[in-house]
Amino acid sequence: MVDMVNRPPHYTKGGIEAIDAIATAVMDLNGVESFCTANAIKYLWRWKAKNGVEDLRKARWYLDYLIALETTPGPSPAQSHGRHAPVAPSPAQTSPKSEAPSGTPIVCHTKC
């Protein structure tokens, strides 16, 4: 019987559990950077086995938030704890019909 609480199959790939990979990936990050990075990895890890494109969109949301955090003018990273968080992208900005940034080629390998 599959243990969906302690060892769900969508969080184990090749004998590696997502929690272990994520813990290693974020060990040098703090706060919202750690949280967003961990969530992006989680959704990328499981997308094919659980929620498909929805999980890819969720991963993109966290990546877009991190990008905005890193590119929003403000205090230095050492002072970022008092910084206002960037506005996260709206669903319209992360929907499949949204436009790519200028100059970014759009390649679709499936029927869009």
The DSSP code sequence of 65-106 is HHHHHHHS--S-GGGGGGSPPPPPPPHHHHSTTSPPPTT---
The answer to whether the predicted template modeling score (pTM) of the entire model surpasses 0.75 is no
pLDDT in tens, 97-106: 444 444 444 4
Is 69's pLDDT higher than 50? yes
Cα–Cα distance for residue pair 33/5, rounded to 1 Å:
26
**How buried is residue 11: exposed, middle or buried, by Cβ count under 10 Å (0-12/13-18/19+)?**
buried
pLDDT in tens, 12-50: 776 788 889 999 999 999 999 999 999 999 999 999 989
pLDDT given at position 16 = 80
> What is the DSSP secondary-structure string of 44-60?
HHHTTTTTTHHHHHHHH
